[in-house]
Structure 1
């Protein structure tokens, strides 16, 4: 069963100024702020190479997580604090591109309690793929609920930690905020909200 994401927090995501722009190292990018999880600020990045970690699995490493992501070149968004960083040789930045659907992990007892925060983090292009050095969620971002990007519900998706791996993820509130921010871009007015994959009824 699938339903559209409810954007209850959309009203809290506002542009700094209508049509305002912020110069970055890549190009002129629109900026927005949100008053939800950790007061995150976002910046829009025009099409260019970045690491997409929306479906990445990760392994714990000293100081955080090593996540296998993929190379993407579409439009994206990242945290305002990190800005849009262009690819520099084999080094590039992890950023967000909209996903089609996800399920929510909500049980602190049954679900894996750890996940990796990759937004804006540094990554490397290697012969074996794109790997990003991700961290624990920032202060103020709650561990539950978090999301797993998937086209259909999987009972085991929220228990990945039992295998020694972890998801690169975000909270549903983060996704709501960053999607609303992207929808505020003039060229993305028709951007659809991701669908939420619900637990099948018993």
Structure 2
């Protein structure tokens, strides 16, 4: 069962998306909204179409001080954390950024579901013959571990228990997703950008 996320996205990010190609210069704009109290997360910067790493559906493995996540290359518009800015591709170096997703489910139970996930927004990545790999971190200060999202077209009970396999999702909190959506909707030409659908947990 699916319902529309009723978020009015306040000034935030654009695209977790990516495709290989020549490097292009990107620009950043000053965020149009201040960070919120509580589960605020970062401010965002808009990045015009250019090459970047998209980690919206990435699985990750622990590495020293963080996670190594397998993402994919994208070249659509995107958003990133304001403090990192929009970094153009340099050789095999890419930046992890966000491009809008269609739907996701929420993981909300810290007692029965994986209590870990990786924060990839703005993090450094390498383009290799085996794919794009990003060095991601623990959720930053101000971002709650629960709930978090898993990008999927339909609910999967196992999605929130990925940690039992020794891997983890690249993710974000539902509040951060709504914030970045609002941010993107405030950008020229993106006013009609729809919010992602939330895939609901089936009733027991």
Query: What does 1:37-56 align with in structure 2 at a 5 Å threshold?
Result: 37-56=39-58
Give ranges in structure 1 of 5+ residues lacking alignment: 16-24
Displacement of 1:28 in angstroms is 5.3
Whole-Å separation in 2 of the counterparts to 1:112 and 1:99 = 22
- Taking structure 2 as the reference length, the TM-score comes to 0.89
2:138 aligned residue (123, 136, 139): 136
Displacement of 1:139 in angstroms is 1.0
Partner of 1:159: 161
Displacement of 1:14 in angstroms is 5.4
Partner of 2:188: 186
Structure (1 or 2) with the greater strand fraction: 1
1:32–1:43 CA contact under 8 A, matched in 2: no
- Against the structure 1 CA distance between its residues 60 and 52, is the aligned structure 2 distance closer, same or farther, given a 3 Å change threshold? same
Partner of 2:200: 198
Displacement of 1:140 in angstroms is 1.5
Which ranges of 4 or more aligned residues in structure 1 deviate by more than 6 Å?
A: none
Partner of 1:57: 59
1:30–1:185 CA contact under 8 A, matched in 2: no
Partner of 1:72: 74
Partner of 2:172: 170
2:124–2:135 CA contact under 8 A, matched in 1: yes
Query: What does 1:11-26 align with in structure 2 at a 5 Å threshold?
Result: 13=10, 26=26
For residues 100-142 of structure 1, what are the alpha-carbon distances to aligned partners after superposition, in whole Å with 9 as ceiling and x for unaligned?
0000000011100000000000000001000000000001111
Partner of 2:7: 7
Partner-residue secondary structure (3-state), 2:55:
strand
1:38–1:138 CA contact under 8 A, matched in 2: no
Partner of 1:35: 36
RMSD over aligned CA atoms reads: 1.5
Partner of 2:123: 121
Whole-Å separation in 2 of the counterparts to 1:151 and 1:52 = 17
- Taking structure 1 as the reference length, the TM-score comes to 0.90
Higher relative contact order (CA 8 A, sep 6+): 2
Whole-Å separation in 2 of the counterparts to 1:144 and 1:169 = 11
Partner-residue secondary structure (3-state), 1:32:
coil
Partner of 1:22: none
1:29–1:46 CA contact under 8 A, matched in 2: no
Partner-residue secondary structure (3-state), 1:181:
helix
